[in-house]
Structure 1
């Protein structure tokens, strides 16, 4: 594997990230434990933010211009269990799209590093 190629490029760049985010939100919104967090949320706008954020996390374009994670999730009372569940769904979606273990481990590391900014 060429180590000079970003994870973003390795998974298929924007089309793959967009597909991953679409799949992620289909699963998340179908889960009764998670869907209440998204009541009244503009899902289309949220997906755009998530595409930009995930692209940046994977070494793609730095186009995320949303609020800081802590601020964006303040007051939502997201439990660690629910945060971990969304993270597991994300890793599963990426694996299903062919992301290799190195990419999945990097995503898991980012999820671990940002947990305290999101989960209550």
Structure 2
């Protein structure tokens, strides 16, 4: 059986999902302030690697763990949930199937305490 990564469309689809996700995030006045002093290109590279790994693709993520990367940013649960909803929406818009979406929802639920204050 193919990995969720392969079923989602592999690297091209994950890269497109991340590009779309950050377009939506940066256009949202509730979220954009979190990214004012962030190297978005570098962040996207890390996010492609992280999402690929979460979906069972290449294990190339070399960034800080989620807790360290988000420490001190005071990210509220509502903002975390909003980003998660945007991610699910982007993936669904790219035709990712429900089983993969459910797996991503599970990872989001398991990671909330590492990201949100």
**Cα offset, 1:98, TM superposition:** 0.3
Q: 2:67 aligns with which of 61, 66, 70?
A: 70
Q: Distance in 1 between matches of 2:11 and 2:88?
A: 17
Q: Which residue of 2 aligns with 1:94?
A: 91
Q: 1:82 aligns with which of 73, 79, 102?
A: 79
Structure 2: tracts of 5 or more residues without a match: none
Q: 2:111 aligns with which of 92, 111, 114?
A: 114
TM-score by length of structure 2 reads 0.99
1:6-85 matches, cutoff 5 A: 6-85=3-82
Structure 1: tracts of 5 or more residues without a match: none
Number of aligned pairs?
117
**Cα offset, 1:77, TM superposition:** 0.2
Q: Deviations over 1:12-62 (max 9, x none)?
A: 100000000000000000000000000110000000000000000000000
Q: Distance in 2 between matches of 1:55 and 1:11?
A: 10
**Cα offset, 1:11, TM superposition:** 1.2
Q: Deviations over 1:91-110 (max 9, x none)?
A: 00000000011000000000
TM-score by length of structure 1 reads 0.97
